[in-house]
Amino acid sequence: MTEPLRLGIAGLGTVGAGVVKIVRQKAALLETRGGRPISISAVSARNRVKDRGVPLDSYDWEDDPVTLAQRDDVDVFVELVGGSDGPAKASTEAALRAGKDVVTANKALLAHHGQALAEAAEASGAVLRFEAAVAGGIPVVKALTEGLAANDIQRVMGVMNGTCNYILTRMESGGLTYKEAFAEADGLGYLEADPNLDVGGIDAGHKLSLLASIAFGTQVDFDAVELEGIGRVSIEDIRQAADMGYKVKLLGVCQMTGRGLEQRMSPCLVPATSPLGQLDGGTNMVMIEGDQVGQIVMSGAGAGEGPTASAVLADVIDIARGTRVSTFGQPSSSLIKPRPATTATPAPYYLRLMLLDKPGALAKVAAVLGEAGVSINRMRQRSHDQNTAPVLIVTHKTTRAALDNALAAMVGTGVVEGEPVALRIEQV
């Protein structure tokens, strides 16, 4: 086929401008690898006059992305608007109804509406691709849907938010408090407009829910992802983890168990010598365990203009080649509604609590843990001021439910000040 594949690009922020740059600068390469020319027919964004560092005057302009999605001279609608609803959802639905293929980097949209959009794509004979929505330039979606398609996936885990990894890395390397590292990341422009999307684990949770769907053949269920951000991780936790041979990472894990589908995004301790433990700065890493290949590790830039635009164009090139893959790797009608796991797989935990300087205080804490069925592996009491002393505990394997019961009971002992911090120690 020699007719060009014509794109309509909605959203001209960092990623959208990056896509335009690649199409303009690498036209010959894209044509060679896609088997046909790739061109841009029209674009859309909120601000028509903003300088985006790339010429746009050769493309038609549409103020409304829905109108752009329905144009006759658009074969592939590239949705880079962002947001789980509003113009992003409306324009994507319009494109699919019109039978147009869609490429998106919008993890929030798919995390909340993935099943319905996958069904709409199949009903109209279109494809919906989203490599750029998960881990930026790392081709993890393609790996799961194609390269590892012959495997029963046992577990997917990884660091999927570069901002959080940067903050935790700087706390360790610079001896910074959480607030100091957060401010540094903000000054560098790493944080979303709503920072809680990053540090609250929501952005990474969106990505994890999409990978879980592909890995285990389930409908996307973001609401069942257990989310915990990094806001309560202190420099003391970072130092104590290092002293025990661990690093603290915001870690996403999904696996199918006898209790149901386990999906969790939370700060965890991982061995410092493991690939995840050695991951510094804003880099992402995804580890996939398959029954035939064992463990596969992929790392790279998880965000930014070049890496994310690269992933967008990878999907576009596949469409140009004629590759047609179901949204989540298999027909949407075959995706089962998952049963959320009632409790996470047992694991050891790291606990930090402030103990009041009272007789028998430590014994009361130990008794509460014992009554909840949580056994202590090791315990350390740090030097203290006049009123409190930090106590660090590493448990043997236990469930989070049993641990939460123990932590709740500690409130009634009268010997613990504030809320204890509990971090899972993940086996990598």
List residues with catalytic annotation: 207
Per-residue DSSP letters for 265-291? Answer: EEEEEEETTSTTTT--TTEEEEEEEET
Per-residue DSSP letters for 184-239? Answer: HHHHTT-S-SSTHHHHTSHHHHHHHHHHHHHHHTB---GGG-EE--STT--HHHHH
Q: What DSSP element (H or E) covers 428?
A: none
- Name the nearest CA neighbour of 107 among 254, 243, 212: 212
C-beta atoms surrounding 314 within 10 Å: 18
Q: What Cα–Cα distance (Å) separates residue 92 from each residue in 171, 188, 278, 364?
A: 40, 32, 39, 57
Q: Which residues does 18 contact at the CB level (< 8 Å), separation at least 6? A: 305, 306, 308, 309
Place of tokens 């104590």: 240
The two tokens of residue 357 are 């300087």
Per-residue DSSP letters for 367-395? Answer: HHHHHTT--EEEEEE----SSEEEEEEEE
Q: Which residues does 277 contact at the CB level (< 8 Å), separation at least 6? A: 246, 247, 249, 270, 271, 428
Partners of 263 in the beta sheet?
A: 254
C-beta atoms surrounding 293 within 10 Å: 13
The length of the chain, given as a count of residues: 428
Query: Does residue 80 contact residue 13 with C-beta atoms inside 8 Å?
Result: yes
Residue 361 φ then ψ, to 5°: -60, -45
Q: Are strands 349-356 and 416-425 parallel, antiparallel or unpaired?
A: antiparallel
Query: Does residue 256 contact residue 269 with C-beta atoms inside 8 Å?
Result: no
Q: What DSSP element (H or E) covers 404?
A: helix 400-410
The two tokens of residue 25 are 């600068």
Within 38-139, residue ranges assigned H as helices are 65-69, 86-97, 107-124
